[in-house]
Structure 1
Amino acid sequence: MKTIFLAIFMVITAVSIKAQNRLDNAKKQALENKELILLNFSGSDWCIPCIKLHKNIIETDEFKKLETENIIVYVNADFPRNKKNQLSADMKKENAGLADQYNPKGLFPYTLLLDQDGKVLKSWEGLPAESALAFSKEIRDIQQQRK
């Protein structure tokens, strides 16, 4: 009897943990640390502006400071096309849900700055024209205005 109860408990726990997605986790972290959420929609292996965005902004030290200094929580919703880059079924489903909620037009790249409740504070359609430094400064300024 204990074994059956334990098995049922483990299944229920596993399902509830699985149900929490990256955005939910990001919202919790943002609330705890007074951070913003940066949600980026990209096509990492087919969208040239997306690839440039990641190389010229997201992968820079200046941008990474936003994460290490607890300014933002970064969430990437990627939609790769090449078979070798395909995501798990769960990740595809989660990214599709994020797109339904925040990117119904299917824009790539599309970047959103959200508050801890998921409210959109700022959006960038396409590749931002500014440098990584200017992009990061804009996010810092928005966070400062919210304090």
Structure 2
Amino acid sequence: MSFVSAIWPVRVAVLVLPLVSACSTQAQQPLKGKSTSSTAETTVKSAPQPTSPLSSSPQVILDYPVTSGTPQAPAAAWFSDLGAAQAQAKATNRPLVVVFSGSDWCQPCVVFEQEVFSQPAFAAYAQSRLVLAHFDYPRQAQNQPTPAQVKLNQAAAAQLNREGDFPLAVIVAPDGKVLAKTGYIPGGPAAFERYLNKIVGK
């Protein structure tokens, strides 16, 4: 499964949408679907350890469309299996960034993806520094993930997003400890990178 298909399963072109302060309040079960479009950051001290077996074959996503004729940096690689992403973070001793989004109902999620996660500058930054995972919770029937991916999404939410916040980026240490959670951060890749550097100390 590609990251685009995970976030936008029908490969809808991402448009610049006006940022709204709140999305509607119901997402794919079991999440409630609160929007977190503010720049407030919440730091927490601990996180539950993985409770499910690690996947033996990580699902990695490498797909972003080229939007101009200029050379592009390699696209960021995104896991769609939290257990596999956690195993990779531990093996490489890199922080894990886990993103939760609602691609067809949450406008701040679309803006966050367009302004940060799909940008070549972020891909270049993440390539040697981070492990990335993404979980999408679309509502429209034609955008629904496979049953297997739904289970992976639910497991990820149960571990890292019980509150049902969207968009949400969770920063996890290689040992599995949750370092911080944040909603949308304006300012593009540079602003998000500054935030990450502050959290992980790099």
* Alignment-derived partner of residue 138 in structure 1: 195
Identity %: 30
| CA drift at 1:103 | 1.0
Counterpart for residue 3 of structure 1: none
Who is 1:48 aligned against? 107
Number of aligned residue pairs: give it.
127
TM-score by length of 2: 0.57
> Does the 8 A contact of 2:56 with 2:84 survive in 1?
no
1:59 alignment partner in structure 2:
118
Q: CA deviation digits over 1:5-60, x for unaligned, max 9? A: xxxxxxxxxxx748x97222212221222211000110011110000000001011
CA distance in 1, matches of 2:172, 2:130: 9
Partner of residue 143 from structure 2, selected from 73, 81, 85: 85
More helix by share: 1
Gaps of 5+ in 2: 1-54, 60-79
Q: Residue 119 of structure 1 corresponds to which residue in structure 2? A: 177
Q: 1:72 aligns with which of 130, 150, 169?
A: 130
> Shift of residue 137 of structure 1?
2.6
Q: In 1, are the aligned partners of 2:169 and 2:181 still within 8 Å (CA)?
A: yes
- State the Cα distance separating 1:129 from its structure 2 match: 3.0
- Secondary structure in 1 matching 2:157: helix
Cα distance in 1, alignment partners of residues 162 and 82 from structure 2: 17
Q: Unpaired segments of 5 or more residues in structure 1?
A: 1-15
2:109–2:167 CA contact under 8 A, matched in 1: yes
**How far is the alpha carbon of 1:141 from its aligned partner?**
4.0
Q: 1:142 Cα deviation (Å)?
A: 3.4
Residue type at the aligned position of 1:40: V
Computing the radius of gyration from Cα coordinates, the structure with the larger value is 1
Task: Kindly report the root-mean-square deviation, in angstroms, between the aligned alpha carbons of the 2 structures.
Answer: 2.1
Would the alpha carbon gap of residues 130 and 122 (structure 1) be closer, same or farther in structure 2, given more than 3 Å must change? farther
> In structure 2, how many angstroms separate the alpha carbons of the residues matched to 1:68 and 1:131?
17
Relative distance call for 1:62 and 1:140 in structure 2 (3 A) is: farther
Q: Which amino acid aligns with 1:54?
A: E
The range that moved more, 79-88 or 24-33, is: 24-33
Q: Distance in 2 between matches of 1:131 and 1:55?
A: 9
SS in 2 for 1:116: coil
Which residue in 2 is equivalent to 1:100? 158
Residue 134 of structure 1: how far off its partner (Å): 1.7
Deviations 1:100-135 (A, max 9, x none): 12111111101101012321111103x213432121
